Amino acid sequence: MGKGEQTRNLILDEAVSLAMKVGLEGLTIGALASRLDLSKSGLFAHFGSKQDLQLLTLRHAETLFQAAVLVPALAEPAGLLRLRALLANWLAWLERDLPGGCVMLAASGEYDDRPGAVRDLLVSGQRELRGVLVKAIRQAIDAGQLDASTDPWQLAFETFGAVLAAHHDRRLLGDARAAARAKAAFDRLIATSEARDPSPEAS
């Protein structure tokens, strides 16, 4: 990584932290400059406009999410192990107090009514993430771990719901049990989707 890229990554880490506080829409080059104690003109060299800054910040948060949640889960064998790793990493991501925590989920509420390039990037990231979840579920079905009748999109929707509720209860209601509740919800989802014994007379 060159020095220019390193600087830019450090700036984007701060931009993600700032977006956590003020929302992606509240993120301006001026506010970021004053947080970093840099000149606005210096930052304009990196980001030509507020929208560029928002898009690069969102993409940076997505990259942090991929590195923390998706990459280690994809290192697990396909099937239930991978699916469980995905959820565990995701909940750990929401719990941590580091840059990037939940810029995507916060932005979901901010941009659902606000058309434009930021929303488009957000939507495509959310669709991609749902696709990763659906694929992991399909692999667990193909491996015979989940029942063939399982609807992967429905199960992915319900898993996402548990994550959203954990995020809401942790951050708004300050409920320390939120992640454990999401884990319990997911365990029940998996238990009710597990493959039925194909030969009942063997049981």
Contact set with a copy of itself (CB under 8 A): 20-21, 23, 105-106, 108-113, 119, 122-123, 126-127, 153-154, 157-158, 160-166, 168-169, 171-173, 178, 181-182, 184-185, 188, 192
Least distance between a copy of itself and beta carbon 129 (Å): 11
Output 77 or 116, the one with its CB closest to a copy of itself.
116
Output 71 or 98, the one with its CB closest to a copy of itself.
98
The residues, ordered by sequence, that sit 6+ positions from 149 with a Cβ below 8 Å of its Cβ are: none
Output 40 or 188, the one with its CB closest to a copy of itself.
188
Q: What angle do CA 108, 48, 16 make, to 5 degrees?
A: 40
Least distance between a copy of itself and beta carbon 152 (Å): 12
Least distance between a copy of itself and beta carbon 9 (Å): 24
182 neighbors 165 (Cβ within 8 angstroms): yes
- Look up residue 63 and give its two tokens: 């990259």
Output 53 or 189, the one with its CB closest to a copy of itself.
189
The 3-state DSSP class for residue 179 equals: helix
E strand or H helix that includes residue 146: none
Least distance between a copy of itself and beta carbon 155 (Å): 9
Least distance between a copy of itself and beta carbon 36 (Å): 20
Q: Which amino acid is at 127?
A: R
Cα–Cα distance measured from residue 80 to residue 48, given in angstroms and rounded to the nearest whole number: 44
> Smallest Cα–Cα separation from 69: which of 155, 128, 9, 124?
128
Output 8 or 135, the one with its CB closest to a copy of itself.
135
